[in-house]
Amino acid sequence: MCKSMKKLILLCYIFLLPMLIQAQRTVEITPFGGYVFSSRMSGADGYVRFVDNAQYGGMISIGVSRSMDVDLIYNRSDTKAQVNLNSYPYSVNPLSINYMNIGFTKNFRLNPIVSPFVGFSLGACLMAPKSGNSYDYWFFDFGISGGAKVYFGKHFGLRLQAQMYVPVQAAGYTFYFGTSGAGSGVSAYSTMVQFGFTGGLIFRLGHVPDANSTRIKY
């Protein structure tokens, strides 16, 4: 991840958080770490395998309702790419895979302590080789997550989740017309799915509801 992008994200968080807290929103800050399994990206003349490794990052969850959060997510893994292409000699290249997503979480609060959830996000995936003679690669991506939050008190908790990220390798838009009418469509293509687990401490700021008022009626 380039230094300018890191500075931009950090500045957004610094200026955004005070406004959200003053607006009486519940804000959850969650640094996390975990593990991501190996994955493979296929091509016309071979594939690239990404070695399983640790992953880490953080997220800011902004409560927009009693059961819905908007999430700002950064997830990173430092891994190695095993290049197996017919047109390129076999090599092992260190790189980082960075996901910068915006999404939402749907919470199902069973009681003031335990809250299962599901989430969906969209964003950008940056694959940044660490060798000096390689270029960075950007992809559009989407992510799906699910797990549970366990609150130890009014301001602290634990977030446990499984997540899946899918970098989109190709996308297209078609439009056609003829004697039978007209139409259009959108298509996306990906051969890579990254699946892993994370866990992190939750720090709750802003307007935190009392324990007796956290049960949600559906």
Q: Which two tokens stand for residue 89?
A: 């000699």
Q: Which two tokens stand for residue 168?
A: 């989109």
Whole-number CA gyration radius for the chain: 20
CA distance 114 to 162: 16
CATH 2.40.160.20 assigned to 3-213: yes
Reduced DSSP (H G I as helix, E B as strand, rest coil) percent helix, strand, coil of the chain, to 5:
10, 65, 25
> Where are the chain's structural domains?
3-213
CA distance 31 to 20: 19
Q: What is the pLDDT of residue 132?
A: 67
Q: How many residues does the chain have?
A: 218
Residues 6+ apart with CB under 8 A from 211: 112, 154
Residue with tokens 């891994």: 79
Q: What is the pLDDT of residue 196?
A: 95
Q: What is the pLDDT of residues 119-135, one digit of tens each?
A: 999 999 998 888 766 77
- CB count, 10 Å around CB of 99? 24
Going from the C-alpha of 50 to that of each of 27, 41, 65, 166, the distances in angstroms are 34, 8, 38, 13
pTM above 0.85, yes or no: no
Q: What is the pLDDT along the chain (218 residues), one digit of tens a residue?
A: 445 455 555 555 555 555 555 555 788 999 999 999 998 887 767 788 899 999 999 999 988 888 889 899 999 999 998 888 776 777 788 999 999 999 999 999 888 889 999 999 999 999 888 876 677 888 889 999 999 999 998 889 999 999 999 988 654 333 334 344 443 333 334 568 899 999 999 998 866 666 544 443 33
Q: Which two tokens stand for residue 141?
A: 């991506």
The helix/strand/coil state of 13 is helix
Q: What is the pLDDT of residue 120?
A: 95
Please name every residue paired with 80 in a beta bridge, in sequence order, or none if there are none. Answer: 94
Q: What is the pLDDT of residue 15?
A: 55
Q: For residues 108 and 139, is the Cβ–Cβ distance under 8 A?
A: no
